[in-house]
Amino acid sequence: MKKFFVVSSVVYAALLVLCSCSSHAAGNTAGSGGAESKTGSIYIPSQNEDEAQYMSSAIGDMEKVVMKTEYPEYPADTKEIRLYISNQSDGEIGYEGYAFSLQKKVDGNWQDVAFKTDENGQGPNFPAVAVVLYPKKTNEIVIGLDTYFELPLEAGTYRIQKDEVAAEFEVK
């Protein structure tokens, strides 16, 4: 297992060097699926969830990341929310590009809001994609609420959570 992580780390470092040389010339987008970054971050596809988690925890300190929504309040039928993820550290930060959860505060506790399910009862299957956020930079991500949740949302306090960071907002 250690050999896998060493090899993965070497491959990741090589990809990072190669991608950083070309990331400014080509506009990188995350593709379809409801989450999209528009600020030139690097997307590195991983082979599986374990590798994505390893890269996220190995790249940086998520405590130096600030995430906020575009607005502090939204109407109940809002179809999308823009998130801004800022790296306030001096090093690169890695996070899962697509995956997120929506939670509502109920009686002082955060409860997950159920994702829409398909005809087989399955929720969304987020691709495992690691994103590198460079020092002192900000990424913008658009979350398509209408893609993932039944609208309108009930009034209350919500948060969108990615890895260990969250952005709170009110639904009126």
Indicate whether 24 pLDDT > 60. Answer: no
| Distant-in-sequence, close-in-space partners of 106: CB < 8 Å, separation ≥ 6 | 156
Q: What's the DSSP call for residue 37?
A: B
Round to the nearest angstrom and report the end-to-end CA distance of the chain. Answer: 49
Strand spans (E) along 5-153 = 42-45, 65-69, 73-74, 80-87, 93-96, 101-106, 109-112, 129-133, 138-144
Question: Using one digit for the tens of pLDDT, what is the confidence trace for 30-86?
Answer: 333 444 333 333 333 334 444 444 334 434 466 788 999 999 999 999 999 999 999
| Distant-in-sequence, close-in-space partners of 168: CB < 8 Å, separation ≥ 6 | 69, 157, 158, 159
pTM metric for this prediction: 0.65
Alpha-carbon span 164 to 112, nearest angstrom:
15
Question: Using one digit for the tens of pLDDT, what is the confidence trace for 79-130?
Answer: 999 999 999 998 998 888 899 999 999 999 999 999 999 999 999 988 889 9
Would you state the pLDDT for residue 94? Answer: 86
| Distant-in-sequence, close-in-space partners of 29: CB < 8 Å, separation ≥ 6 | 36, 37, 38
